[in-house]
Amino acid sequence: MSNFLIPRLFLMIITLTGLTGCGSSDVKLASVAGTVTMNGEPLPGATVLFRPRTIEADSEAKGAAESFGKTDDKGHYELAVVMTGDTGAVVGPNDVIITLDVFEEILPTYDKSGKDRRGPNPIPAEYNSKTTLEFDVPPAGAENADFQLVNPDFKVPDKNAHPEKDV
């Protein structure tokens, strides 16, 4: 082997060894499911996102992948890790973000009059962009990670405004 190839091979081995020791495989996961309601009624077509929150700088959960689930017609969801598809969420405290799929777009779409066709976001900011929701995932998992959202002005978004979205 050439003098150039040996250091490169050594560097690759060190890098691969380091990568196998970190990431979500070191983080404890537990299954999480629940129901989301709005004003006491099931909320279909929502995304539930769990974002691991850590206080300790050296926590195994630091930088761990988020988990998400989509609510069905009964508002029920089950979480899977975004990066790997593994079932569950990181054990410990998580910030929770709930959005409607139609509002996950980065840019709004406008009608001929210049009005955002999505209308006002029916899910208040304290449940998503300024979330106050949290859930502490126990090691044994949770089947009752339920969230009761409240918005007296809630109106289901117009499906015709975004026919390509599943609202």
pLDDT in tens, 86-130: 999 999 999 999 988 666 554 566 778 877 666 666 788 899 889
The full set of domain ranges for the chain reads: 28-153
Q: Which range, 39-53, 54-68, 146-160, is most confident?
A: 39-53
Least trusted range by pLDDT, from 25-29, 48-52, 137-141, 159-163: 159-163
pLDDT score of 72: 94
pLDDT score of 156: 62
Please count the CA atoms within 13 angstroms of the CA of 72 that sit on its side-chain side.
Answer: 7
What's the chain's average pLDDT? 77
CATH topology of domain 28-153: Immunoglobulin-like (2.60.40)
pLDDT score of 154: 79
Token digits of residue 96: 């929770």
Is the confidence at residue 74, as pLDDT, over 70?
Answer: yes
- CB atoms inside a 10 Å sphere around CB 67: 27
Angstrom CA distances, 42 to 83, 135, 147, stand at 28, 19, 10
Contact criterion met (CB below 8 Å) for 85 and 149:
no
pLDDT score of 125: 87
Q: 11 or 54, which is more confident?
A: 54
Contact criterion met (CB below 8 Å) for 32 and 80:
no
Is the confidence at residue 27, as pLDDT, over 80?
Answer: yes
Token digits of residue 63: 């930088």
CA 26 to chain centre: 20
Contact criterion met (CB below 8 Å) for 80 and 86:
yes
